[in-house]
Amino acid sequence: MNSQITHMTLNGCTNVAVRNVKLVAPGNSPNTDGFHVQFSTGVTFTGSTVQTGDDCVAIGAGTRNFLISKLACGPGHGVSIGSLAKELNEDGVENVTLSSSVFTGTQNGVRIKSWARPSNGFVKNVFFQDLIMENVQNPIIIDQNYCPSHQGCPTEHSGVKISQVTYKNIQGTSATQQAMKLVWSQSNPCTGITLQDIKLTYKKGAPATS
């Protein structure tokens, strides 16, 4: 499948399983998310390949009990929760697991992003585990000052509360020396962030940093 915009969207769905699909778009094509989920519960996305110019998997507000496994992502912007804080009254994201997946040449690996504005939204109980990063620009990133255009950006603090996020057994190479970026809200800093068995090296041989 080669879509001009988002390839597959689940909105308001319950107990859906998507397996063994291949979603392909040019790496320089904007807004071509591979698999987008929002306001849905009990979704499983397994054994699939996503090559795109935007997020391989985009996880929007109102997503609960979402399992992703055996994903091959790249090129693309990785797997993203958000962007959140688009609105003040916004559903949260909880119980998301991504495992046994490979990211190749992507802009990001696993990312949580929210705008710097008030919101009742939240992200909690998220597990990123058993992942391989191959020449990924930002293998691990939390960005609560998200503003991709860098113009007219909100200047408040993100109200999205991020908690209980686990990164476990993530290995590979970073295309940039800063392999992990954590930009937290000053008024709602993240809590319960766990890093275990993280082994990321800078592709050019220098030590990776965070």
Domain range for 12: 8-136+144-202
Q: Is residue 74 part of a domain?
A: yes
Give the closest residue to 87 by CA, choosing from 120, 62, 64.
120
pLDDT tens for 99-155 read 999 999 999 999 999 999 999 999 999 999 999 999 999 999 999 999 988 888 898
SS3 content of the chain, % helix, strand, coil (to 5): 0, 55, 45
Give the closest residue to 71 by CA, choosing from 44, 93, 26, 103.
103
Q: Is residue 207 part of a domain?
A: no
pLDDT for 1 equals 56
Q: Is residue 26 part of a domain?
A: yes
**Residue 87 main-chain phi, psi, to 5 deg:** -135, 160
Active site residue 150: no
pTM: 0.95
Q: Is residue 76 part of a domain?
A: yes
Q: Report the chain's mean pLDDT, rounded to a whole number.
A: 94
Q: Is residue 2 part of a domain?
A: no
Q: Which is the catalytic residue, given 7, 36, 77, 157?
A: 77
* CATH number of the CATH domain containing 172: 2.160.20.10
